[in-house]
Structure 1
């Protein structure tokens, strides 16, 4: 699927800067000129650590879409090989070791999701999996050919390893990750004509490693470019909700839940997220994001939520989610898109606190207790302030109840 939009700039580099994506690059002036005058083949890597991409991946995805719109050719690299180790960048603990079967399944899920965002027809984009070459490497040969080009004392200075070292140590297993990612770049430079690697700001050290390796082994010129991570105004990584990650798979995070998540962002983040997560014109994003009146701010947030859900799930699902959200705020309309949990009649009665935690409205019974005592919970529009309240079959209307937490979080519970 190809996503197109009206270009506002004569080159992709200026667009990436204006929309707030760009952080740094190698040979900036040279790369800008290259992107303006030539069609560049570039890649971005995605380790298959779960069976779905998340909202946190949308920055890289949006950049890839935008670059393809300017005629550049993206390579989406699935980390079937590197995921066996796990990237230590930005982590204080070692990643859980995953089986080959799980990684292969996750990579296949990623591949299906990427069909929505990029045009893979006629070589316009390519999907590769680094297990195809990394798993064939011979250990001693790899150390002689690639490991000999990396100085340990320089590697230990990189941000990719600092947190792990400070937290108590770094295994050789993880230490090899930079070498493998660098080799990915070298391999695709040789075999696929890839000359640019892009990624989040936490990948800078790994990207530099690959560009330097190409220069040493091939006397070639390769480039790297990184983008700011998707973070909130408070500096927290975007993409976490009460129930955990916000997934792009609608079976893990429904379009309605995604809509509500984006609808509830901090006022300070609206302009930034409109610029980075939508294809609305730059000036329109800034106008919406600069609103000060409560009604206008709410409209800007609804626009953001609608555009993000439309990007990920399509216009029909976005309309359903928006209509369901409006219906809940007005007290009438369609509830079909609302997040729903089904419970058995045999499980009743059950404590309200336990039920709220079970369905993901709260992280713990303690949090649920506090919110109930503060008057922030209602069932079917009746406020509940007693933390010992029990949910029984009698309060269900047409075999359902709607629990509301605060002003914006709703969850339907149905009886089986």
Structure 2
């Protein structure tokens, strides 16, 4: 089982750098270990780009190891220079606390906390926040030379544009974290994205220099996820794809995965899902032989939506998708319609009864009154999924969902949301 874990990670393309591949494999063959991954609370939600190291950590848990989830209440106040060309905006303590709470909730969705090797959640503010400046400089500042720190990519890349001492000290604080978890939780491994290599190896250096006897700790990084066309992964038309349902609804989340390109579908199944190798290889064949059926994308969307939002949210996302495909909107609730048509063109209109012809012309659905009458009589106009064929029809409060909006469809796929003010 343990040997299979590392083989599986390699097959899925989840191993980028390792500090000691043979040593780690030997350790995993001999014992169950604790290992950790950290997330800084820079926002009150993670997005899908954040979760690859966490899902990799979950794979270790599924093989009997114990994950430690570190939420950086302290490091979040400092700002990681990795992968950035300028300083982060510092956040207030209150905002950091809100962000920590949001991220903890999302981690609880991904990990098992109740089994024998249940996940543990920690906040580095618990040990870094109480440390005085003198303690920091005396006990840890002396461990690393400035030249050592300047040579790290995450610092070296910022020297020309400028880096404050605050962000310069970030890697040392993360090194303190690894050392603390090593001492107090028996943590032997840190996992992170490829941009975390410098921070992870700094942690190993701190551990080495604070222990007289030789100790074994390890670091692993995960490759950056990219799209086949070279564009940035994790972005949709509306921006980042968040795990928070208020920022990215389960339906939008589901649609993001459904819209995965054929060239990326199997790759994402390997990286993001826990589907077994044999089944993924079968999907690889369907992508090549029956790409129009989009079986891999459907399975990918189902697995990811269920994992992050639960079965009920997945069922709702599927129901919305089917209703939009069939054009039968009557099966949807007002909230589901609002969700489904969030990004369609909209028009604001006063709350008043209006003849259907005037209504669709004024809202820009039909270009002229003549065309509007023709559209109505030909059955091309629907309000909230109900076809209107009578040119004398009066659009009234009964057509306003939540007394706030009406979904108008012209033809098969031209939708507009009329918002009432």
Deviations 1:204-249 (A, max 9, x none): 1100000111011114221111111232223444222222221111
State the 4+ residue runs in structure 1 displaced beyond 6 angstroms. 379-382, 393-397
Unaligned runs of 5+ in 2: 353-359, 364-379, 384-393, 401-405
Q: Check conservation: 2:15, 2:223, Cα contact below 8 A.
A: yes
Q: Which residue of 1 aligns with 2:112?
A: 119
Matched, 1:223 2:218: yes
Q: Which residue of 1 aligns with 2:39?
A: 46
1:303 is aligned, of 299, 306, 310, to 299
1:74 is aligned, of 59, 67, 70, to 67
Deviations 1:292-349 (A, max 9, x none): 356545222122111110111112221221232132123225444452559874499x
CA distance in 1, matches of 2:6, 2:177: 24
2:133 is aligned, of 130, 139, 142, to 139
Post-superposition shift, 1:287? Answer: 2.9
Distance 1:412 1:17, change over 3 A: farther
Distance 1:413 1:345, change over 3 A: closer
The RMSD of aligned alpha carbons is: 3.2
Q: Which residue of 2 aligns with 1:371?
A: none
Q: Which residue of 1 aligns with 2:204?
A: 211
Q: Which residue of 1 aligns with 2:407?
A: 401
Q: Check conservation: 1:11, 1:35, Cα contact below 8 A.
A: no
Post-superposition shift, 1:108? Answer: 1.1
Matched, 1:170 2:170: no
CA distance in 2, matches of 1:139, 1:329: 61
Q: Check conservation: 2:73, 2:97, Cα contact below 8 A.
A: yes
Q: Which residue of 1 aligns with 2:260?
A: 265
Q: Check conservation: 2:15, 2:222, Cα contact below 8 A.
A: yes
SS of 1:116 mapped into structure 2 = helix
CA distance in 2, matches of 1:170, 1:210: 21
Post-superposition shift, 1:107? Answer: 0.5
1:60 is aligned, of 44, 48, 53, to 53
User: Which one has the largest radius of gyration?
Assistant: 2
SS of 2:90 mapped into structure 1 = coil
Post-superposition shift, 1:33? Answer: 2.0
SS of 1:274 mapped into structure 2 = helix
Distance 1:197 1:286, change over 3 A: same
TM-score, normalised to structure 1, is: 0.80
Post-superposition shift, 1:58? Answer: 2.3
